[in-house]
Amino acid sequence: MNNIVSLKWLLARLYESDIVIVDCRFLMGKPDAGRELYEASHIPGAVYLDLEKDLSAPLDEDGHGGRHPLPDIFALTVALSRVGISNESRVVVYDDQGGAMASRLWWLLKYLGHEQVFVLDEGFTAWTNAGFPISAEQRVLIPSKYLATVQHTMLVEMAEVKELLGDERVTLIDSREAPRYRGEVEPLDKVAGHIPGAINRFWKDGLGESGAWKDADAQADRFADLDRDRELIVYCGSGVTATPNVIALQEAGFNKVRLYAGSWSDWISYEGNKVAVGDEEKLIKP
């Protein structure tokens, strides 16, 4: 796999000078829990970046941008530089949430033009269960300088999603659990349902029973009904758990993949945007 590295891979490279390990653990609804877990124990040498403080912008007053708006590019590069990530770093990111939080940082780094970034397979609990070293010591931060080369084609905004609804060249993929996609439940947002025409591919289906990422062939099976020539736009509730699906699609060999970062919580913040419920397990048609 191109974007996922094993526990043993990281163990063998733990103290190499160009490796920067980033702990991304975060619990929704408990904003301080991730940092507290990091301070209690983490992979030796790891630094911590917070989903809401570092990897998201403050919430917009009018609700636009979703529940986890993309961070300002300058602010993000400052955060990366602060923890010692440079353009030459090999970055390994991990969490304990199936890779969802780590994938957010993976995507952000790719968006900034960074190639050498990888998600640690299985996560922190698997690392500790394997008997690999952990530490409560916090790394002395030596700031670096990070220069972004923003890959604008990786991102799509609400207006373009709206314009592309019904376009036979585009497939929308909703990454949330099926009941949320169908509009049967909605624990987080004010409106239930999905963007009209979207199909559903729950992000956690990219993981096996053990919590490890499925291999490239298994990921390809998940998306076997999709046309590789189509543009794929992936979204979730707030742009976080869509990113594991972006990785899975890349592993499966899809190259035309973009993220609607604002996702469902952004879509419903605009009056007049249509909402669909039920199943739409078909490709978008005109």
The residues that are catalytic are 236
Residue pair 135/42 in contact by the 8 Å Cβ criterion: yes
Residues 6+ apart with CB under 8 A from 81: 143, 144, 145, 146
Handedness of CA 110, 251, 198, 210 (dihedral sign): negative
Residue pair 169/231 in contact by the 8 Å Cβ criterion: yes
26: three-class secondary structure by DSSP: coil
Residue pair 231/203 in contact by the 8 Å Cβ criterion: no
Residue pair 97/25 in contact by the 8 Å Cβ criterion: yes
Distance between CA atoms of residues 150 and 232, nearest Å: 20
Orientation angle between helical segments 100-111 and 243-251, nearest 10 degrees: 70
State both tokens at 3: 């974007």
Residues 6+ apart with CB under 8 A from 30: none
Distance between CA atoms of residues 220 and 250, nearest Å: 9
Phi/psi of residue 153, each to 5°? -70, -10
The string of DSSP codes covering 193-244 is SB-TT-EE--GGGGB-TTSPBP-HHHHHHHTTTS-TTSEEEEE-SSSSTTHH
